[in-house]
Structure 1
Amino acid sequence: MHQTDIGPLPADHPPVRKPKIGVLVANLGTPDGTDYWSMRRYLNEFLSDKRVIDYPAWKWQPILQGIVLTKRPFASGAAYKTIWNEELDESPLMTITRQQTDALRAALTARFGDRVEVDFCMRYGNPSTPSKVAELQAKGCDRILFFPLYPQYAGATTATANDKFFDALKTLKWQPASRTVPPYFDRTDYIDALAQSVERAYGAMEQTPDILVCSYHGVPKRYLLEGDPYHCQCQKTTRLLKERLGWADDWITTTFQSKFGPEEWLQPYTVEEVARLAERGKKRIAVIAPAFSADCIETLEEINEEIRESFEHAGGESFTYIPCLNDDAAHIEALTNVIVENLGGWV
């Protein structure tokens, strides 16, 4: 007989594990390699997501399959090669998300012992959300806290990650109780971590930049008009960061990057704004990416290469990219605080 909290079980009953709580952190995703087919699989999954591109399938899929996925995997693969972690044969986003997870696991184990299991998944690519939900359940997790690592909420990031999590739950005979973590863009500890990263970067410079550009990943402007709160939350993050640093309004600005397709997106566009700043005499700038919890292709390649080039081509003289918070101790502490608060009543 096996003794559990539900009483004695027959000898032929499937094993029942000691109940645990799972914490599953999620990020956007990464291709498995930089070759054409790895990039094509990844881009196909990403760009077929209706939360990301919401055009009707009859209109979008022929363009995606016939034009975009014929050419873009080559260009994207070349961009990934410039930042690829050759030692581990993976993207920096994979490396950093694993480091964040290890740090969170250590912090939560120190607080709760073996009652909490911590792992990570990706919305697109591997490790997939369904595979990690299954692993947590196999370890005895009857409750799972799902944590998309996006400070600001957007339908194309937070919501689609949650969708994938809920889809995974649909396949289970015995669903764990579940919670999702709300956005944390205005938390004092998150803003403090951002501010500390800026203060460290500025303290290491011989000359202070003329302005700090807060570059957020863009979305179509239509999403804002349809009720997505992302734009407002980005603006508030910048304002809170400015107030925490004690800066004047013209020492910091908000921009949006990564425009894709013919629609108007949230503006100003980072790649254009940094050129305008240079032309207006702002010859020394720093750029930070508060919407990204970990450095990735959009920060290491797009900001630190393409956007830097736009600034310098327009006459800019000094361009400093301030890395994402990654596994910085203050960031891990803030994320741990978010998790602990959202585990309230479970532990």
Structure 2
Amino acid sequence: MNSLNDKIRSLIADKGMITFAEFMNMALYEPGQGYYQKQNPFGHQGSFYTSVNASASFGRTLANAFADTATRLSLPAHFCEMGAGSGMLANDILTHLKNTKPDFYAELKYTIIEKSGYLIERQKELLKEHEGKINWTAFEDFGGFQGVFYSNELVDAFPVHRVIRIGEEVKELYVIEHEGGLTFYPEKLSTPKIQEYLDRINLKITDGQIVDLNLDMTGWVQALSSKIDKGIVFTIDYGYPAENIFASYRRDGTVTCYYKHSQNNDFFERVGDQDITAFVDFTSLQSYGHDAGLVPVSLTPQWLFLVQSGILSEIENAETDLQKASVKALIMPEGGFGTNFFVLIQRKNVTVPDDFPYRKGAKETLDILSKMNGF
């Protein structure tokens, strides 16, 4: 079998150059060779930690939030998780509901959308206790959904197009082979969708600035809306609104790599053996989603969402200082998982009342935090 590097170089030889999105897609998702197709990238043995790895409190808190949402909004007890990774989040959610909300658990159906055969096998092994509850499907086969749909760190792994302004021109950064290695080369835009994206959010790139545009995200959220008949969508990911992600001080875009828990920008090294990711532009995600029928409910920093969902009780019930510290890592406003991550809530064909708990403001929640003893 040709190595992944050989396949990428062969494609470049055939086409002359490829978009960074094409490169990133192969590096992450090439069958049997891409990063997410051949190994476990999560936790201690992988390249990065997620909120799920940081504390089981994350999954328990989400379980409460999703069950409460379904009950409040009279939605069917049906959860769908897209991109379930190792299956740890699904297991934390299902186990918590089984132990604390047995009636809800008895009615619950759980669908996982996953395209990695390797990860599906891992998920099935971990979720044996709940196998009667779970159905696996492909995104293409998913549809007619009613319930609570969610993803955690999914969209940041969608391939992105790299765009740069040179003088008065906006060009795309392609990947070419040069002097035995891979490098970037600016050329005309590969698709008019790039300019449409820039125009939609009125983005004016400064000379020499690189921005990373997630066109796959725009197609995904539009397709997702067509597959939901009635429900709530929770998108949990790291990123910011557009004015932050594309600020002029961000000269080099937001694409980065993770290898054995260390961050680097060596995009063309360790191809297939390291993660490649980019900040999510939540402004565009809301805009494209709204056009397709997903109405924004709120965009909230993850720490605030978790506090609104009752995670403080996890600190109160923690038996060790280590357990308390792991929960605090999820909600400390100073950085890390707390402020780099956001939760976008969207709705379709369901009315969200004014007293829906995730519409509360940050000031009210900060007041709660300030009253915590020893926080």
Q: TM-score, normalised by structure 1?
A: 0.35
- Structure number with the higher helix fraction is 1
- Structure number with the higher strand fraction is 2
Q: TM-score, normalised by structure 2?
A: 0.33
